[in-house]
Structure 1
Amino acid sequence: MPYALFCDDAKLSKTYPTEADVWKLASESGLVTDVESKGGQPTPRRVLDNDYEIRPCQAEAGECPEKNERDAQEQKDFQLLLRGRG
């Protein structure tokens, strides 16, 4: 089942193959905050800012979640390449 980023009932992102892909996108976009762990767990837990949430959803007609993930990775790689030249 693909996943996307939502705020209330509005879908804010493209659809991605896994929940982990959307967490990664949200983190890279600055939408994730680490908060103190509860119950004595050793690491902080991640939460989304504001009323954002990651939910399973159906891909739009003609949308390919795997292609969206590849495109996002290629864009990130390209931005890193440009930064390396500056």
Structure 2
Amino acid sequence: MPYALFYQDAKLSKAYPTEADVWTLARKSGLVVDAISEEKSAPRPVLDNDYEIRPCQLEPNEDPAKNKADADREARLEPRLN
């Protein structure tokens, strides 16, 4: 089942093969923040501003595996800041 990033009912990202792939995209986009809860002392990552990662319907001719491969290739080409 493919997953994507949503805000309310609007699909904001391409579809990716797994939920973990969308978390990676959200982290790179600056949409993940660390939250502290009363139950756990260590911070845990959450999506900022009511964004959600959910299962999604594919657009016509959309290929989640290709979307992931394209994102991985782009990530390798981006300059890294130290």
- Pair in the same fold by TM > 0.5: yes
Q: How far is 1:43 from its partner?
A: 3.1
1:7 alignment partner in structure 2: 7
Matches within 5 A, 1:28-43: 28-39=28-39, 41=40, 43=42
Q: Is the aligned partner of 1:75 residue 2:79? A: no
Q: How far is 1:42 from its partner?
A: 5.3
Detail structure 1 runs of 4+ shifted over 3 Å in the superposition. Answer: none
Distance 1:33 1:24 in 2: 13
From the two aligned structures, give the one with the greater helix fraction: 1
Q: Is the aligned partner of 1:65 residue 2:64? A: yes
2:44 alignment partner in structure 1: 45
Paired letter, 2:69: R
Identical positions, percent: 62
Question: Runs of 5+ in structure 2 lacking a partner?
Answer: none
Distance 1:43 1:60 in 2: 38
Higher alpha-carbon Rg: 1
Q: Compute the TM-score of the two structures, normalised by the length of structure 1.
A: 0.86
Q: How far is 1:37 from its partner?
A: 4.0
State the secondary structure of the residue aligned to 1:46: strand
Question: Runs of 5+ in structure 1 lacking a partner?
Answer: none
* Corresponding residue pairs, total: 81
